[in-house]
Amino acid sequence: MDNGSLDLHLLKENSLLAWDTRYKIALGLSSVVMYLHEEWEQCVLHRDIKSSNVMLDSNFNPKLGDFGLAKLVEHEKCSKTTVLAGT
């Protein structure tokens, strides 16, 4: 992705993201999670959301990557998952 991962922007010493860009990223990422949890045919539990797994395109739109720990769960069972996984 054009702007790399979110962690590069959060951890870089001289790279401050403007508040409107931060808001755009947070809103976009929350939309992704809502889609995965509620709108896809099965509930997708990513289980490893962290800044290094959030890729940013040229307009700083977030894309969630690394679904290696993801689980598919039927919607009626989705809210009952309580075990933590990932890093």
- The better pLDDT of the pair 83, 75 is held by 75
Could you read off the pLDDT of 35-74 as tens digits, one per residue?
999 888 889 999 999 999 999 999 999 999 999 998 988 8
**What is d(CA 57, CA 2) in angstroms, rounded to the nearest whole number?**
5
The whole-model pTM stands at 0.79
**What is d(CA 64, CA 25) in angstroms, rounded to the nearest whole number?**
11
Q: For residue 54, give the 3-state DSSP assignment.
A: strand
Considering 2, 7, 20, 48, which one is annotated as catalytic?
48
The residue extents of the domains of the chain are: 6-78
In 3D, which of 51, 50, 44 has the Cα closest to residue 81?
44
Q: For residue 49, give the 3-state DSSP assignment.
A: coil
Could you read off the pLDDT of 12-43 as tens digits, one per residue?
878 788 999 999 999 999 999 999 998 888 89
At 41 the pLDDT is: 86
48 is catalytic: yes
**In the CATH scheme, what is the code of domain 6-78?**
1.10.510.10
Backbone angles phi, psi at 77, to 5 degrees: -105, -10
